Copies of this chain bind each other. A is one copy, B any other.
Amino acid sequence: MDERTALGLLADRLPSAGDDAAVVDGQVVTTDMLHDRTDFPDGTTRYTAGWRAVGASLSDVAAMGAAATAAVAVYAAPSFDGAELADFVDGAADVCESVDAEYVGGDLDDHVEFTVATTALGETDDPVLRSGARPGEAVCVTGTLGRSAAALRLFERGEVERANALFRFSPRIAAGRALAGSATAMMDSSDGLARSLHQLAEASGCGMAVESPLPIDESVDDVAEDGADRLELGAFFGEDFELVCTVPEDELAAVREDVPVDLTRIGTVVEREALGASNQRGGAAENRVTLDGDALPDRGYTH
């Protein structure tokens, strides 16, 4: 059973879960695990690992439109090197400070593989779920896409300094807060833009018609082999931690002024029928999201 199937199985048992983070009495909590083999390519510094691991959980808080308050981490490794551990904590503390949250420590564990488990906390009285998108609304994304995909190529090339810098993304807490009053559906792009759009469309029972150009990061242009590869890295690869959201047309101009990063309108929420979606199994999912009129496949990074 893959992770997605397993998560689906658990949805009935865990009514508070299922979105980017759980919300209990206004308290937001989300947890993740990253590890060497899949998440930290050769050349990733411990500072970057601390920043990125804690940042990934902060991104889930941002996706709920919540303020971030605190984060903790378990640092598990085959052995403990004082300098590496201090670097990790500095990275974790710095990413928290960048969003006005406090890194309050955690635990150490002896483990066969370098593994980091992070938990971030936040607060909101009015969380933005994935399920509120309505036809006619604008589909938007913060920042630029493909930075992590570009970083992986740079790690392979040995350009580790630039790759580490791209890996240390800014969790979109401030953007999420600014969007919270207007966005009708929101999640982060950690599974890739394409899968995020499908998940928002599915949760909201609608379709999405997206148009080029997408805001693909310029670092992707430096590493992509051709146009198809550029789209692959920008729209499917994921691990980017931007916010993907839907905003009513008449609130878009105002919210864009409040959001402290670029907010690019990439498309429009449509009725599912408008995309020729069938209610039968098979065709429906593929047709839920289109890019320039063609079906945008529901694939991407599976965590």
Asked if A285 lies at the interface with its beta carbon under 8 angstroms from chain B, I say: no
Asked if A228 lies at the interface with its beta carbon under 8 angstroms from chain B, I say: no
Please state if B6 and A108 are interface contacts (CB–CB under 8 Å): yes
User: Which of A7, A93, A110 has the most chain B CB atoms closer than 10 A to its own CB?
Assistant: A110
Asked if A33 lies at the interface with its beta carbon under 8 angstroms from chain B, I say: yes
Quote the shortest CB–CB distance from A195 to chain B (angstroms): 16
Which residues of B sit under 8 angstroms from A32, Cβ to Cβ?
Answer: 74, 107, 109
Please state if A31 and B74 are interface contacts (CB–CB under 8 Å): yes
- Render A112-147 as a binary contact track against B, CB cut-off 8 A, 1 for contact: 110101010100000000000000000000000000
Which residues of B sit under 8 angstroms from A74, Cβ to Cβ?
Answer: 31-33, 117
Asked if A30 lies at the interface with its beta carbon under 8 angstroms from chain B, I say: yes
Asked if A162 lies at the interface with its beta carbon under 8 angstroms from chain B, I say: no
For A102, give its contact among B16, B70, B93 (CB under 8 Å): B16
Please state if A115 and B111 are interface contacts (CB–CB under 8 Å): yes
Please state if A10 and B70 are interface contacts (CB–CB under 8 Å): no
User: Which of A22, A102, A105 has the most chain B CB atoms closer than 10 A to its own CB?
Assistant: A105
For A70, give its contact among B22, B103, B113 (CB under 8 Å): B22
- Render A78-114 as a binary contact track against B, CB cut-off 8 A, 1 for contact: 0111100110011001000000001111111111110
11 pairs, A vs B, C-beta closer than 8 Å: A1-B79, A3-B80, A6-B85, A13-B90, A17-B106, A27-B27, A29-B70, A30-B72, A31-B72, A31-B73, A72-B119
